[in-house]
Structure 1
């Protein structure tokens, strides 16, 4: 049995791991690599022949895990893609959205190149047809139901929170007559997160490939999501009669936020405030959450039985089209605007910022991570002037941030997941999906407990 980490090695994005068992090639995740100095087009340079892959196993729908699947299919992969039912549906939405992002970038590139000799425009990495070809290959498997890939490999999906349908991959392998087990955590969620169940413990395994995104970092303690929202809304919308803009990723983060607002307003903890959810992708993905209601956590299901739809309440309005989105700027009463994208690099959120960044009575609340170089990062850094839609605008709005909506487990959550395995039985822990310093911090803690930890190099094969 041989393991090669082809993506998310000493970096966060581009998860892609190859496991070879008796010449049978299993690819776990196939995500887009967004790291610096890489063009989107560089994602088609696979370190293997896509047609040689026998099967793909997808941990969850986020683009850094699923986003390069259509490229894999376009370049010759013709096997099955195994995942949970919600992951299949959410992945289709996100992959179609990626096509729109590619095409929008191509259009912008064309406008900038007009009249200049810059060579050919970059082509989209894939198109809608390739996404459709990809989704036809999805085969869905329920949580905790063993599924035999072939005579030598058995797969089980274990719920890990983080996102609806997100799973750790546990493989039981017959390696030339010797039984071995290996688990890939995917992205591990945190406990007591809105809507989602807590991560389930993993069974005993011989090898563990663990994410390390928040290695060395802890989430804020003391405050609750509800209290942060109440305090922020009370100041921005009630005392100042202004507007609150919340950039939020459409899938996962928006549903957690809407449910949290529902609990606040339905119980009368704040007077009514108009809430706009301005993201077609958020509306579509919320329907997937409704469809798979049985997979939501016990609190959300109890709320449904006593209060009704978790994602619907008085004064909540899902924006249907661009015309409605533009009309929000003419709504002069206090309101909350939830829109994507979370890092402000595109989408309708830029229109709302353009119209409100110079409004003293506007508050912008960040509830997610913003990578270096993004507009969100610059606002959080405190830049007094930012560039939006070809204009430099002074920042007069109030900028706030909370990490309580992060769906990633922090350092203690990650280390606790590994500690479910006895160090004398777990032969190796491979750390992926994290910055180098995060991996080192996590490795130091685990090595003190007696675990053998590997921080793998990209494209280097390990015999297991």
Structure 2
């Protein structure tokens, strides 16, 4: 059995790992690599023949894990894609959104020109449709025989609805070996989502390391932080709170937290707008798979109703409605995407409010270096929107209480579920090297053998 780390090697994006058995090739995740300078051109090439892949296993729907599946299909892959039911539904939404983004970028580059001159889309709607036809869904904790040699079990890990650790049992040469891929590990007590569940004993573990060496804030709850921010922005003063949020996962958690705050009467009523069509569709997926949400969410639904619908909340549908939000002059909360401010309707709201002294922009997620969100967080006094240089008069705040990733302690605890005498090797992926090193040191202190693979590195298991 041979393992090759093909993506998210000493970086966060582009998750893709190849497990090769005799005459059988398994690809775990097929994500877009956002850290390439020539993004669309570079992501269309694979270091293997796509037609030689027999099956793909998808840990969860986020685009850095799923986003290059249509390219794989377009270039010759014709096998099955195995995932949990919510992952399949959310992946379809995200892939369709990617097509829209590709085409939008191409049109933007071609504006005013006779022929399209922007980067060619990696894939089109047809390729997304072809990809979704290959999905086979498997429920959590149900062993699925891929072939006579390999069986698969999905273990819930929080992070996102449907997100799973992949546990593979491989019979090769008369011996049995087990290898697990954590995907992205969530955190305990996260709104809506279940806690990560223990991964059974394996021989090899491929673990994410996004928050290695980093620790989430303690001493306050998400509800307390939101109450404090809303009170300062919308109650004491007639201002507006703008929250950039990823449409899938983060928005649903935030809406549920706000629902509880206003249902319990912790604040006077404040109008809330969710301005993201993708978030609206994703919320319907959360409703469809409601039985997979956590106990707190289930109890709320049984006693108080829909977690994602309440009196103060309005889902904004079309562009006309979105523009009308800018003309709403009462205190309000606007939740919109994209979370890093790179495109999407959030830019309209920023344009009209970045110079508003009574506006607060609350970041609830990570912003990659160089993004507009990152520039605001680092304190840039002037930003460029719609080809205009605008002074930043709005208040900029950030909290990590809605981060969907487990922190250093959570990652260590995940690995410590494994007996170090039986776990032969740990491979750290999906993290910057600066995050991997403290996690590696901590795990080695507990007796684990830890590897930090470089891209393309091959391991004989």
Residue number in structure 2 paired with 1:210? 207
Describe the superposition over 1:190-229 as per-residue Cα deviations: whole angstroms up to 9, x where unpaired: 0000000000000000000000000010010111000000
Which aligned pairs between 1:21-60 and structure 2 lie closer than 5 A?
21-60=21-60
Is the 8 Å Cα contact of residues 110 and 117 (structure 2) preserved in structure 1?
Answer: no
- Does residue 127 (structure 1) correspond to residue 124 (structure 2)? The answer is yes
Query: Secondary structure of 2:155's partner?
Result: strand
Structure 1 equivalent of residue 19 of structure 2: 19
How many residues align? The count is 461
The answer to whether structure 1 residue 400 and structure 2 residue 397 are counterparts is yes
Give 1:266 deviation, angstroms. 0.6
Give the Cα separation in 2 of the matches to 1:102 and 1:284. 20
Distance in 2 between residues matched to 1:121 and 1:226, nearest whole Å: 44
Alpha-carbon deviation of 1:315?
1.5
User: Which of 176, 189, 197 in structure 2 is aligned with 1:192?
Assistant: 189
Residues 114-144 of structure 1 show CA distances to partners (whole Å, capped at 9, x for unaligned) of 499xx94310011111000000000000000
Residue matched to 1:100: 100
**Contact 1:99/1:126 (8 A) holds in 2:** yes
Q: How does 1:232-271 map to 2 (within 5 A)?
A: 232-271=229-268
1:283-298 alignment runs, 5 A limit = 283-298=280-295
Alignment of 1:50-449 (within 5 A): 50-111=50-111, 114=113, 120-449=117-446
Q: Give the gaps of 5 or more residues in structure 1.
A: none
Quote how far apart the aligned CAs of 1:111 are: 2.6
Deviations 1:281-319 (A, max 9, x none): 000000000010000000000000110000000010000
Unaligned stretches of 5+ in structure 2?
none
8 Å CA contact retained: 1:22, 1:176? no
Give the drift of 1:75. Answer: 0.2
Q: Distance in 2 between matches of 1:36 and 1:445?
A: 30
Contact kept? 2:340, 2:374, Cα under 8 Å: yes
Deviations 1:49-78 (A, max 9, x none): 000000000000000000000000000000
- Assess, with a 3 A threshold, how the Cα gap between structure 1 residues 120 and 271 changes in structure 2: closer, same or farther: closer
Q: Per-residue deviation at 1:36?
A: 4.2
Distance 1:273 1:202 in 2: 42
CA RMSD of aligned residues (A): 1.1
Matched, 1:453 2:450: yes
Q: What displacement does 1:39 show?
A: 2.1
Show CA shifts across 1:340-366 (max 9, x none): 000000100000000000000101000
TM-score by length of 1: 0.98
Q: Within 2, Cα distance between the matches of 1:213 and 1:368?
A: 13
Deviation per CA, 1:255-302, whole angstroms, max 9, x where unpaired?
A: 000000000001100000000000000000000000100000000000
Q: Distance in 1 between matches of 2:248 and 2:454?
A: 31
Counterparts of 2:38 and 2:424, CA distance in 1: 34
- 1:353-392 Cα offsets, whole Å, 9 max, x none, are 0000000010100000000000000000000000112111
Runs of 4+ in 1 over 4 A off after TM superposition: none
Q: Work out whether residues 214 and 408 of structure 2, in 8 Å CA contact, stay in contact via their aligned partners in 1.
A: yes
Distance in 1 (alpha carbons) for counterparts of 2:83 and 2:38: 28
Contact 1:249 1:340 in 2 (8 A): yes
